[in-house]
Amino acid sequence: MTYLEPTKAFKYLGIRVSITGDMREERQHIEHETVKMIKATERHQYSPSQMHWVVQVAIRPIFRYSAALAGWTEKGIHALEKTWARAFRQAWRTGKNTPEVTFWAPQKHGGLGCLSARAIVTHEVIGLMRQSAQLEHDLKRVGKYELRKIVSEKGCTTLEAACRESQWDGAECGEARDVYERFINHASRSMSMTWEDMLPEEGGQEEGQEEEGGGERGIMTIMGQEAPEGREPERWRSARKWLRKLPGWGIQTLR
């Protein structure tokens, strides 16, 4: 039997994770393997379109498999996107000065329409959450509990309001403590959302999911996200940040 220290990663379902939940080695493995694959294809004899396909199916999936769980920071994602841009420049035999936006921009705007690493994390996190909600089992119940807890900690009573608060905060990837908070942070970047799988069927209301306009409402409804006319925006934002401390002290809702 092999002895493992709590901080030492082991491979579980293809992902390198420690007993404490640290996935640092998984991220390091992805960075290393990505660079290794790019170097292996440096002097390719394929056409640009063929090599573009290789990048899409052989290099980017190294990241995609664990994207929802690996806990990437903004800095880590930015570095990975720069590495991918290097692979695309190499595939299309363009110069080093070709801007990265060329690869991420939609084709109708003159780009290649490739998904950025940020977009992939968002897609994979939402997909993972949908999977966990497909059947009535313990994982779905845990997910509901964790999401309700995060919603309350943000001083809200609905998932949609929590997403708006996360957007107002400008929450970054690395700030999420688990996949549930990562779900809210990433979803808030691109959509306003009420997740039907986390709400009861037939339009009923679950505990912790009351409408903002109903009897119980989140503490953050005291102050709107935009400063009222005649109020200084910076001072309003500063005051609202202080209000955001109340949920952490247990003052989460108003009646």
Residue ranges covered by each domain of the chain? 10-117, 133-254
Of 182-186, 188-192, 235-239, the range with the lowest mean pLDDT is 188-192
179 pLDDT exceeds 70? yes
58 pLDDT exceeds 60? yes
Give how far the C-alpha of residue 243 lies from the chain's centroid of Cα atoms, to the nearest Å: 25
Tokens 């959509």 sit on residue: 191
Of 47-61, 121-135, 173-187, 217-231, the range with the lowest mean pLDDT is 173-187
- The answer to whether residues 42 and 32 touch, using CB atoms and an 8 Å cutoff, is no
SS percent in the chain: helix, strand, coil, step 5: 55, 5, 40
Residue 60 confidence class, pLDDT cut points 50, 70, 90: very high
The mean pLDDT of the chain is 82
**What tens digit of pLDDT does each residue of 70-93 get?**
988 889 999 999 999 999 999 999
**What tens digit of pLDDT does each residue of 14-24 get?**
999 988 888 99
Region of 117 (left: φ > 0; alpha: ψ -120 to 50; beta: rest) is alpha
- The answer to whether residues 159 and 198 touch, using CB atoms and an 8 Å cutoff, is yes
Share of the chain above pLDDT 90, in %: 23
Region 163-183: mean pLDDT is: 75
* Cα dist from 80 to 54, 102, 199, whole Å: 17, 16, 36
109 pLDDT exceeds 90? no
- The answer to whether residues 163 and 188 touch, using CB atoms and an 8 Å cutoff, is yes
232 pLDDT exceeds 60? yes
Strand partners, 15: 12
201 pLDDT exceeds 60? no
Number of other CB atoms surrounding residue 102 within 10 Å = 16
Region of 170 (left: φ > 0; alpha: ψ -120 to 50; beta: rest) is left
Under DSSP, is residue 154 helix (H, G, I), strand (E, B) or coil? coil
Q: How is residue 26 written in tokens? A: 């998984």
Under DSSP, is residue 99 helix (H, G, I), strand (E, B) or coil? coil
Q: How is residue 196 written in tokens? A: 């039907």
188 pLDDT exceeds 80? no
Share of the chain above pLDDT 70, in %: 86
Nearest to 176 by CA among 168, 185, 167: 185
Q: Regarding predicted confidence, which is higher, 251 or 187? A: 251
